[in-house]
Structure 1
Amino acid sequence: MSSTHQSKIAMVAGETSGDMLAARLLSGLRPRLPDAHMHGIGGPHMAEYGFASDWPMDKLSVRGLFEVLVHYREISGIRKQLTQQLLIEKPDVFIGVDAPDFNLDMEVKLKQAGIPTMHYISPSIWAWRGGRIKKIAAAVSHMLVIFPFEEQIYKDAGIPATYVGHPLAQVIPLEIDTNAAREELGLDPRFKVVAILPGSRISEIKYNTEAFIRTAKILLERDPHLQIVVPMAGNKQRSYYIKLVVAAKLEGVPVLLIDGRSHTAIAAADVVLVASGTASLEVALFKKPMVIAYKMMEASWQILKHMGYQPWIGLPNILARDFVVPEFLQSAATPLAMADALWEQLNSDQLQSSLKERFTEMHHTLLRDTANISAQAVIDVIAQHR
């Protein structure tokens, strides 16, 4: 975009996965707008492209209905301050990255004030709360979608949308070097590896950790040579995980706890136990067998379990429209049930081969030049509103 005008781009990403997805967009946008001022709320991956975060991103990284209520006043205050700031500043575009409960309310006010608004990653209106599309129409000038079936949903509702592919499909290679990943982590190539991903949010770690590590304990009782790898998203998550493990008297379960490098842990694994969310799609793109599980506050579960439209919660199953991998939710997510499912995957060559084939097809479907397609959509929206 050739202009003497210095572009101002505001963005909000509310958690680690959003930070990574937004960074992918910025990797295509920053070369086109090298002098643009980009700010809002984001994480370290966005900062690599010159993004300035006005508040720490972890202020928004809260999940679960009642957990959000505890932090509502602080989160609401941040949104109000940022909205007022942007109404004065009038950026060329605002891009909300996921975090719909935070971003959509902002986007409504900004759009009403004539500021073009984009939302990167559709809320799961095809899974639950489909009525939100009316609010999205009032909030969003242009939607960037990451799953191929979403584009038509929005176009049918009169909302401009662009399918940009899933950024992770480009980041994660089609062929995985498992041996290299094991060597990087110092794992013994003779023995099988199980990766355990309880989640990146503190609330996820709180509810998933004990059941996940008890699952590892059962697997190790069946095969003492198994190597268990547990990546942590940051120091706060690591400290809390250790606290929970000690409280549950599970510190004797031998696991390799690593900082970051979740992709390396997944690449090294034979099977993965993963909390439902973006991480489950990452595992699929690494072509690894997995068991998807999720636990949350019981009061939140009692509300949410009646709100879904589909029989699946894991992204790999949703995309495949089938239970290609097992899901265990809330009370069903027992250590024995999860261990049995993982054990079957560990010991079935046929199952491993079948899943690899399904996940390879999925990878090709999601593979697009995400950085440049999404960046061009942003450029076009800015140009349309000048």
Structure 2
Amino acid sequence: MRIAMVAGEASGDLLASHLMRALKVHLPDAQFVGIGGPKMEAEGFEAWWPAETLAVNGYVDALKRYRELSGIRKSLLNRLKEDKRQGNIDLFIGVDAPDFNLWLEEKVRGAGVPTVHYVSPSIWAWRGRRVFKVKRAADCVLCLFPFEPALYEKHGVNAHFVGHPLADEFPLDPDRDAARELLNIPLAAKVVAMLPGSRNGEVARMADSFVGTAKRLHEADPDLRFVVPLVTRETRNLFEQAIHRAEAHELPLRILFGHSQDAMTAADVVLVASGTATLEAALLKRPMVIAYRLANLSYRIMKRLAYLPYVGLPNILAGEFLVPEFIQDAVTPEALADGLEKWLLDREACERLIERFTAMHLELRQNHAQRAARAILPLLGMRG
């Protein structure tokens, strides 16, 4: 059995590696080839191109790299078609990266190879007509969120809710004291975790507002401490430049290399840029304020195409504003500080929020890789 896969960026690499491991329980001799990352390679994947090849940050970056990515995709398609002619490909799995994978899946499916799209595109948030492209491209769609299969079923698409990998990974009852001990934070301290993003552009757009928020909160309560997990030297430099511009060197603010989950677990409240980190904060049962700025062109496009009033995953899953969101020009130190102070001062509201997040966690905890593997097996003529 030979299965081709395409996974972009670190998140896709992780998802695909878990799926490979689960599939090998049923298909111990299966071979996996295509585009993937180090976690997939650790499971025996043969990477024709590395996963980071597909990494783009917004529309502008995607447009700049269109010719390069289009060339890679066409080369991969030709290789897969040749393998199909030789009887060497049994299945194609596109992991996330819909702008790259859906076109490829449609062509591969047209060549007679069954296809799976793992991680539904956000048809419920914007670009809803993409459901028709998914229908042409995929024999099976694997969904991370429970409301998604019904949207596909209305259009005759075979879709399965498999749960979210983070819900399987994160404990139901996070150990705040252990996280504080790990980070050397006093147990009695009041702590705000600030996550301005993982990419340079995100941090560049968010850092000044986050530092300004910390200044306002510290003026109101000098006992507050701040932790800022960042993933690269470049993002750390960008944040330190914002501290310098604000003349905020005396703030009790500590920058961490990585440790984002530890920082959120240790915190009393979290200020977080929109994205997967908002779901992580919810699974860690932390009250939060969501803030996000996009490049102006990307924001105008997203605003025109958006269907939902929410951008944060906790609010999307709840179908209501469980936590406050501030987007684009609404991202100001005053607004963010006010939202965070409300959580810090209202313990009962925090307890109610934790109950909602716990129910959300339980709904998403489904042993995702095993469920995904079982949904795929019928495409290979096996019982799921």
For residue 37 of structure 1, what is the amino acid of its counterpart?
Q
Kept in 2: contact 1:62–1:202 (CA 8 A) = no
2:112 is the alignment partner of 1:114: yes
2:8 is the alignment partner of 1:14: yes
Q: What are the residue-to-residue correspondences of 1:1-386 with 2, within 5 Å?
A: 7-90=1-84, 91-233=89-231, 238-248=232-242, 249=244, 252=249, 253-383=251-381
* Structure 1: segments with no counterpart, 5+ residues: 1-6
* Cα distance between partner residues in 2 of 1:114 and 1:383: 15
Q: Secondary structure at the match of 2:366?
A: coil
* Cα distance between partner residues in 2 of 1:128 and 1:328: 19
User: Structure 1 residues 51, 229: CA separation in 2 closer, same or farther (over 3 Å shift)?
Assistant: farther
* 1:139-192 CA-partner distances (Å, limit 9, x unpaired): 011000111111122122111111111121111111111111111112121212
User: Structure 1 residues 303, 225: CA separation in 2 closer, same or farther (over 3 Å shift)?
Assistant: same
For residue 160 of structure 2, what is the amino acid of its counterpart?
T
* 1:35-63 CA-partner distances (Å, limit 9, x unpaired): 32223233333333233433333332222
TM-score normalised by L of structure 1: 0.91
Identity %: 49
* Cα distance between partner residues in 2 of 1:206 and 1:196: 14
Kept in 2: contact 1:165–1:370 (CA 8 A) = yes
User: Structure 1 residues 336, 153: CA separation in 2 closer, same or farther (over 3 Å shift)?
Assistant: same
User: Structure 1 residues 213, 72: CA separation in 2 closer, same or farther (over 3 Å shift)?
Assistant: farther
User: Structure 1 residues 126, 93: CA separation in 2 closer, same or farther (over 3 Å shift)?
Assistant: same
For residue 348 of structure 1, what is the amino acid of its counterpart?
D
CA drift of 1:331 comes to 0.9
1:4 corresponding residue in structure 2? none
User: Structure 1 residues 207, 156: CA separation in 2 closer, same or farther (over 3 Å shift)?
Assistant: same
* 1:338-361 CA-partner distances (Å, limit 9, x unpaired): 121112112210121011011111
User: Structure 1 residues 216, 158: CA separation in 2 closer, same or farther (over 3 Å shift)?
Assistant: same
* Cα distance between partner residues in 2 of 1:259 and 1:192: 21
User: Structure 1 residues 83, 195: CA separation in 2 closer, same or farther (over 3 Å shift)?
Assistant: farther
Kept in 1: contact 2:198–2:235 (CA 8 A) = no
* Cα distance between partner residues in 1 of 2:328 and 2:241: 20
* Cα distance between partner residues in 1 of 2:379 and 2:285: 36
Kept in 2: contact 1:209–1:241 (CA 8 A) = no
* Cα distance between partner residues in 2 of 1:117 and 1:70: 29
Deviates more, 1:322-331 or 1:20-29: 20-29
CA drift of 1:132 comes to 0.7
Q: Secondary structure at the match of 1:306?
A: helix
User: Structure 1 residues 347, 40: CA separation in 2 closer, same or farther (over 3 Å shift)?
Assistant: farther
User: Structure 1 residues 245, 259: CA separation in 2 closer, same or farther (over 3 Å shift)?
Assistant: closer
Q: Secondary structure at the match of 2:160?
A: strand
CA drift of 1:71 comes to 2.1
* Cα distance between partner residues in 2 of 1:333 and 1:94: 42
Measured on the aligned residues, the alpha-carbon RMSD in Å equals: 2.1
* Cα distance between partner residues in 2 of 1:347 and 1:246: 29
CA drift of 1:130 comes to 0.9
For residue 53 of structure 1, what is the amino acid of its counterpart?
A
* Structure 2: segments with no counterpart, 5+ residues: none
